[in-house]
Structure 1
Amino acid sequence: MEINLISDTVTKPTHEMLQYMFKAEVGDDVYRQDPTVIALETKTAALFGMEAGLFFPSGIMANQTAIKVHTQPGEQLIADKYAHIYHYEGGGVSFNSGVSCCLLDGKRGMINAQQVAGAINDPEFYNSPLTSLVCVENTTNKGGGACYEIEDLQKIKEVCVANNLKFHMDGARIWNALVAKKQDPKLYGSLFDTISVCFSKGLGAPVGSVLLADKATIARALRVRKILGGGMRQVGYLAAAGIYALDHNIERLEEDHRRAKELGSVLSKASWVASVEPVETNILIFSLAPHCNDQALIEKLKQKNISISSLGPGKLRIVTHLDYREVMHTYVLETLSKLEM
């Protein structure tokens, strides 16, 4: 029994999802004639109370498109120092948009309105890059699956409006935040100019994200997606997986959250663990005691058919997901409780 807790992207489509995909009605989406893609875009936009959506092969392309439509070369965006758009998107911010990043020292990947206000460059001071965009990530990846409070996002929005800045949310794991905080997705739709949502993180789809915005922004995003090579043909087979995921796999995220918290509880009692970060959703980050080596722990767990990942020296990550079943969970809990380093 191989147990992969490296990421919630390692899941495979269930039999039911595959059957739904096989039956999808498709067309040529480059001509905007794929009815299943249109259905997914429409369904997702309605869920967040936004005007339109655009299907992408990856969350990175969706984020990069959003940055491109909101900025001009030479400008600057504001984000947390842990931001996915900065660390894990191949330098796309500079490569695709010619934009620099002002990185803030937030709390577990989350920034606040006061920090944002203090980071905005004077638009009249032409020696500094023009600040044009604020990006937040919810839930935070490197922040250990932490979730923003809606009130904090509303305060950042007020700063954006007052300073004529666009507001983008990397919502790759927004589904986890919605479940954990019992939030209405339409609250997010009322705050952000653009939102990217992912179906392959947590929801079990094999691929795909949707960028949400008003109709005019999505029309511009369609052109950027084409330039980036994101035009797809009979992609309704993949969009169908997203529709199935929305209908069947959101509420069950509570199971992933419960299991992550139980893993955190066991790790907090281990002598070889220095600290466990607060667990809100499906991501668990912990630090090892000084005498322990992260690669040694990873190897020891591999010998027991358990895979986790390193975030750097002495810091590790576990992510629960759809394919991590209860029988596996019981085994991992027992293994961790007995492990010695």
Structure 2
Amino acid sequence: MIVDLRSDTLTRPSREMLDAMMTARVGDDVFGEDDTVKALEQQIATMFGMETALFCPSGTMANQIAIKCLTNPMEELITDQTAHVYRSESGGIPFHSAVSVRTLRGERGKITPALIAPEINVDSITAPRTSLVVLENTVNWGGGSYYTLAEISEIATLCHANALKLHLDGARIFNALTETGDLTINYGQFFDTISVCLSKGLGAPVGSVLMGNGELIKKARKIRKVMGGGMRQAGFLAAAGIYALDHNIGKLKADHHHARQLASALKGQYYVKSVMPVDTNIVIFEVAENYQTATLIRQLDRHGIKCLEFGKQRIRFVTYLDITQEMIDETIMVLNKLELPEKSSGN
């Protein structure tokens, strides 16, 4: 048995999702003629109380388009130091938008009005004008930590008072909503743009959606084109997104349960120093100093368990739609029986 816990991007479409894809009505989306793409865009925009939306090939593209739309060159955005837009999008912010980034040290990736307020630059000949705040929900590097709508409301109030735009990188937003119970419809009032990934926990093979008002999405559509994101008969992919929204959101709770089972098993292991609190479907743990992370990863791989190194002495597990209880049980059995050599004195 192979248990691949490297990422929830590894989901594969179910037979039912494939059937929906193969029967989709398609057209040329660059010409605005793909009915299935338009249906997906309208469905998710309505869910989040936004005016309209744009289907994109990836979450990175959706985020970078949003930042390009909401900023001007020589401005600055504020986000956490671990934010995906800053840490994991290949330097896209300065490359695409000529914007600098003010990073904050939040609590497990979550920033607050108290952290943001002192870092807002006013107009100055020497400093970039702050124009945008970016939040991530859930926070990947924070071990799946999440914002509640009440916390978001406080940040939005600060942004509004300072004429700042607010973007949500909602790659795993449905994981957050599964835990908070907040309603999607209430999100749109707080954000200028929201990106949502369909190809992680929801199980679609490709795609993210960027939401905003009509004028902004019109601009975003042209930016998507210049970035090479016009996908022509994209309805086959959009159909998978529609199926995911209709059928897979309710399955995320099982992923969270599986993640907590793994965390519980890790806490008792001699080779684990600490386990980050598990809020959703991400488990990050720190390997004890006298053991090598690379050795542990190799040992797990030999037993059919795949995982990801996630910083110095850290490893990440991610649960998702294709991970079954049987796989979790197998992983826990392997964790319990591992015999890991200590570092040699020469290392």
What does residue 305 of structure 1 align with?
A: 304
What does residue 228 of structure 1 align with?
A: 227
- In structure 2, C-alpha distance between the alignment counterparts of 1:40 and 1:12, rounded to whole Å: 19
What does residue 194 of structure 2 align with?
A: 195
What does residue 82 of structure 1 align with?
A: 82
Equivalences for 1:236-255 in 2 at 5 Å?
236-255=235-254
SS in 2 for 1:251: helix
The letter of the residue matching 2:159 is C
The answer to whether 1:7 aligns with 2:13 is no
Q: CA deviation at 1:3?
A: 1.1
Q: CA deviation at 1:183?
A: 1.2
SS in 1 for 2:12: coil
- In structure 2, C-alpha distance between the alignment counterparts of 1:240 and 1:270, rounded to whole Å: 43
What does residue 43 of structure 2 align with?
A: 43
- In structure 1, C-alpha distance between the alignment counterparts of 2:74 and 2:334, rounded to whole Å: 52
- In structure 2, C-alpha distance between the alignment counterparts of 1:89 and 1:313, rounded to whole Å: 20
The two structures have a TM-score, normalised by structure 1, of 0.99
SS in 2 for 1:76: strand
The letter of the residue matching 1:38 is K
What does residue 170 of structure 1 align with?
A: 169
Q: CA deviation at 1:180?
A: 1.4
- In structure 1, C-alpha distance between the alignment counterparts of 2:159 and 2:187, rounded to whole Å: 15
Q: CA deviation at 1:12?
A: 1.1
What runs of 5+ residues in structure 1 fail to find an aligned partner? none
What does residue 218 of structure 1 align with?
A: 217
- In structure 2, C-alpha distance between the alignment counterparts of 1:112 and 1:69, rounded to whole Å: 24
SS in 1 for 2:121: coil
Higher deviation after alignment, 299-308 or 10-19: 10-19
The answer to whether 1:96 aligns with 2:93 is no
What does residue 204 of structure 1 align with?
A: 203
> What percent identity do the matched residue pairs reach?
50
8 A contact 2:81–2:104 mirrored in 1 = yes
Higher deviation after alignment, 322-331 or 59-68: 322-331
What does residue 64 of structure 1 align with?
A: 64
SS in 1 for 2:194: strand
SS in 2 for 1:156: helix
What does residue 293 of structure 2 align with?
A: 294
Q: CA deviation at 1:91?
A: 0.5
- In structure 1, C-alpha distance between the alignment counterparts of 2:53 and 2:122, rounded to whole Å: 33
Q: CA deviation at 1:313?
A: 2.0
8 A contact 1:42–1:53 mirrored in 2 = yes
What does residue 159 of structure 2 align with?
A: 160
The letter of the residue matching 2:31 is Y
What does residue 109 of structure 1 align with?
A: 109
Q: CA deviation at 1:216?
A: 1.1
What runs of 5+ residues in structure 2 fail to find an aligned partner? 341-347
What does residue 54 of structure 2 align with?
A: 54
The letter of the residue matching 2:58 is S
SS in 1 for 2:108: coil
8 A contact 2:148–2:182 mirrored in 1 = no
Runs of 4+ deviating beyond 4 Å: none
Q: CA deviation at 1:339?
A: 2.0
- In structure 2, C-alpha distance between the alignment counterparts of 1:312 and 1:146, rounded to whole Å: 17
SS in 2 for 1:9: helix
What does residue 181 of structure 1 align with?
A: 180
SS in 1 for 2:66: helix
Q: CA deviation at 1:337?
A: 2.0
| Aligned residue pair count | 340
The answer to whether 1:149 aligns with 2:153 is no
SS in 1 for 2:317: strand
Q: CA deviation at 1:312?
A: 1.9
Task: Quote the RMSD (CA, aligned, Å).
Answer: 0.8
- In structure 1, C-alpha distance between the alignment counterparts of 2:304 and 2:177, rounded to whole Å: 32
The two structures have a TM-score, normalised by structure 2, of 0.97
- In structure 1, C-alpha distance between the alignment counterparts of 2:336 and 2:249, rounded to whole Å: 30
- In structure 2, C-alpha distance between the alignment counterparts of 1:212 and 1:42, rounded to whole Å: 10
